[in-house]
Chain A
Amino acid sequence: MLYKKKWPLFLFLVPGLLFLLVFLYIPFVENIKNSFYEMASVVKMPGQEFEFIGIDNYKRLFTDPDIRVAMANTLKMMVLTVIFEVGIAFVLAVMVSQIKKLQQLFRTVYFFPVVISATAIGLLFKLFYNYNGGMLNQILEALGKEPVLWLGPELAFAMICVPTLWSYIGFYFVILLTGLSDIPDDIYEAASIDGCSKFKQVFYITLPSLKPVFFTSVTLAVTGALKVFDLPWVLAPNGAPQGLTHFLGTYMYQTAYGLNNYDYASTQALLIVVLGVVVSKGVGMLTADKDEKVAAKAKRARAKGVA
């Protein structure tokens, strides 16, 4: 019928696929290739060939102390996002779902930092952290205490985490709240008639029914932690002080565009991809139980049938 003639299909698919091919798939493959070569520059000079160095860059991943710091910081950030972003968001979502008035207002307020660029938030917190007359040190001064070097070696990592975590709680809050409102009310009613306290209801009804939403939130949180760049870069450029606040993303940027070591940076980028796949698969394995696997399979089969 209408879609019998196939030729218009090309006009629909080709422009988008071309974009993906040229700017995603080919660069992705080229990036893998680059990690095995010694790149003297980004663009080859006429007649120049890059030297094949095998897995040298990969060996370097295991010996480079800076990447170890960046990796540790990134992994710590993942754990922190799950505990604080998803955790606080869950507490807030449960609370907001209990109230009747002002729900919409809290939603609007909590979500607001999500739409503000991390760069602006970084600048804002720079004003808080400044040693000479930053907001936090003004408070300390008013309390008669010594000023603190907030972005010094001991505290810098924590001080980068605070705004990173704070600014995204609203995002998980909305996701979890949507999940909460999908749980039918009559389950709770039945439970209260049976004498189940509100507190117990959270554990025995809310948490189990929210499992799939938790799974999505945790996956988004850990893969998001893998991509942090803007905030640490603004607060502590080049992993200041002494590379202690590097994350995989910022270290990769510095390796490529600060040190012009493009091949090693490509290797790091690949590490980020592999870590992303491993971590999101890991979250899936930890949270999925048998029933859900069966359900997911059925869902997939159904989707195939429809398509």
Chain B
Amino acid sequence: MDVTLQLEKVHRRKKKISAGMIAIYAVLIFWAVLTIFPFVWVVINSFKPSAEVLRSSFALPQEFTLANYQNAFGKLNVLNAYKNSFIISGTVTIGVMVLASLMSFGLTRYRFRGKEFIRSMIVASLMFPAFATIIPVYKMIIQWEMLGTPIAVILPQIAGNLSFATIVMTGFMQSIPLEMEEAAYMEGANVFQVFAKIIVPLCRPSLATVAIFSFLWSYNDLFVQKIMIAGHKQYYPVCTLLEEISSQYGTDFGLMAASVTIIVIPVMIVYILLQKNIIKGLTAGAVKG
């Protein structure tokens, strides 16, 4: 009797859960729609003439047009902005990866005086937002006559990502056992060979993490781009160009929708392909605590 009673209980609970499940799915789907809807809306509207966007933004395009895209690529040179963004963020990414792995190697493999001090300085620098360093850096860039060039964005962005990248990489390198390095040393390898042939390949997962967040932070960082490159249109990266579109062509709805689409679609494709790595890369520091 006892068993049947329990079975009945389990059975009843199962039924209850399935009703609850429907509610859960409903809420989750509702939020998913809320998340995706703005992007779908903007893509649909980018194929309409501006007047139609103003009238009926919810309908499918009545007269399908590519004029907005012609405008975006012709008048605004979005392709050039992409090129600039790739040069800037690509260089930042490579710079951060190289410098962070070198530093982490030094910090995890060597014993020396002042190591704890350096480590705590690196952690402390996470508390410096770009706001607190930008004016003196801006001064330096002017003095070096680099204002308005891509390098003016690249240098501070490397520094801005370096501390966090180093913290992520030291955490990872610490977990790599020393045996392989010792074996290589016995075979006659020197420190640089050990670094290049053993450590760097083993660190690939954390290097991927570092690459992803450095690239995205640099790519999305309007603040530094705006200050360092304002007024030099041939070097505008994507965000700066978008901001200019919004302030100058804010009434041309079709063009705005097309520009947003052009910016969102490539990111979306890369995101779909690499989503697991990207999600891991951007939440890495946080999840590790």
Which A residues contact B (CB, under 8 angstroms)?
Answer: 1-3, 5-6, 8-9, 11-13, 15-17, 19-20, 22-28, 30-31, 34, 42-43, 88, 92, 95-96, 98-99, 102, 105-128, 130, 132-133, 135, 138, 166, 170-171, 174-175, 178-179, 192, 198, 212-213, 216-217, 220, 226-227, 229-230, 233-234, 237, 248-249, 252-253, 256-257, 262, 265-266, 268-270, 272-273, 276-277, 304, 306-307
Bound Cα distance A11, B98 (Å):
12
B19 CB-CB contact with A under 8 Å: no
19 A-B pairs within 8 Å (CB atoms) are namely A2-B185, A23-B155, A23-B160, A24-B125, A31-B133, A92-B28, A98-B21, A106-B28, A109-B36, A116-B39, A119-B243, A120-B260, A126-B250, A133-B57, A212-B289, A230-B220, A234-B222, A253-B226, A277-B127
Bound Cα distance A233, B134 (Å):
17
Q: Are B222 and A13 in contact (CB under 8 A)?
A: no
B163 CB-CB contact with A under 8 Å: yes
Bound Cα distance A229, B268 (Å):
23
Interfacial chain B residues near A98, Cβ < 8 Å? 21, 24
Bound Cα distance A106, B36 (Å):
11
- Shortest Cβ gap from B11 to chain A (Å): 14
B60 CB-CB contact with A under 8 Å: no
B202 CB-CB contact with A under 8 Å: no
Q: Are A262 and B185 in contact (CB under 8 A)?
A: no
Q: Which residue of A lies closest to B23 (CB)?
A: A95
Bound Cα distance A208, B185 (Å):
48
Q: Are B142 and A42 in contact (CB under 8 A)?
A: yes
- Shortest Cβ gap from B59 to chain A (Å): 10
Q: Are A128 and B38 in contact (CB under 8 A)?
A: yes
- Shortest Cβ gap from B45 to chain A (Å): 8
B223 CB-CB contact with A under 8 Å: yes
Q: Are B282 and A115 in contact (CB under 8 A)?
A: yes
Interfacial chain A residues near B133, Cβ < 8 Å? 23-24, 27-28, 31
Interfacial chain A residues near B137, Cβ < 8 Å? 23, 27
The 8 A CB mask of B114-137 against A (1 = contact, 0 = none) is: 011010011001011111111111
B200 CB-CB contact with A under 8 Å: no
Given A26-B136, A99-B25, A233-B243, decide whether A175 and B259 contact each other with a Cβ distance below 8 A: no
Given A8-B191, A230-B223, A272-B132, decide whether A120 and B102 contact each other with a Cβ distance below 8 A: no
Bound Cα distance A30, B264 (Å):
38
B37-65 with Cβ < 8 A to chain A = 38-39, 41-42, 45, 53-58
- Shortest Cβ gap from B41 to chain A (Å): 7
Bound Cα distance A252, B220 (Å):
19
B8 CB-CB contact with A under 8 Å: no
Bound Cα distance A178, B135 (Å):
39
The 8 A CB mask of B241-266 against A (1 = contact, 0 = none) is: 01101110010010011011001100
Bound Cα distance A92, B220 (Å):
26
Q: Are B35 and A17 in contact (CB under 8 A)?
A: no
Q: Which residue of A lies closest to B143 (CB)?
A: A43
B151 CB-CB contact with A under 8 Å: no
Interfacial chain B residues near A26, Cβ < 8 Å? 136
Bound Cα distance A109, B100 (Å):
31
- Shortest Cβ gap from B206 to chain A (Å): 16
Interfacial chain B residues near A229, Cβ < 8 Å? 222-223
Given A2-B181, A42-B138, A130-B253, decide whether A19 and B162 contact each other with a Cβ distance below 8 A: yes
Interfacial chain B residues near A27, Cβ < 8 Å? 132-137, 140
Q: How many residues of B contact A (CB 8 A)?
A: 107
Bound Cα distance A19, B271 (Å):
31
Q: Are B109 and A108 in contact (CB under 8 A)?
A: no
Bound Cα distance A88, B35 (Å):
13
Q: Are A118 and B222 in contact (CB under 8 A)?
A: yes
Q: Are B135 and A111 in contact (CB under 8 A)?
A: no
Interfacial chain B residues near A198, Cβ < 8 Å? 17, 20
Bound Cα distance A268, B99 (Å):
31
Interfacial chain A residues near B132, Cβ < 8 Å? 27-28, 31, 269-270, 272-273
Q: Most chain-B Cβ atoms within 10 A of its Cβ — which of A111, A119, A132, A248?
A: A119
- Shortest Cβ gap from A295 to chain B (Å): 12
Given A117-B219, A119-B239, A119-B242, decide whether A220 and B103 contact each other with a Cβ distance below 8 A: no
B205 CB-CB contact with A under 8 Å: no
B203 CB-CB contact with A under 8 Å: no
Interfacial chain B residues near A110, Cβ < 8 Å? 31-32, 35
Bound Cα distance A3, B247 (Å):
56
Bound Cα distance A133, B251 (Å):
10
Given A15-B102, A16-B162, A135-B41, decide whether A117 and B220 contact each other with a Cβ distance below 8 A: yes
Contact of A230 among B112, B139, B163, B222 (CB under 8 A): B222
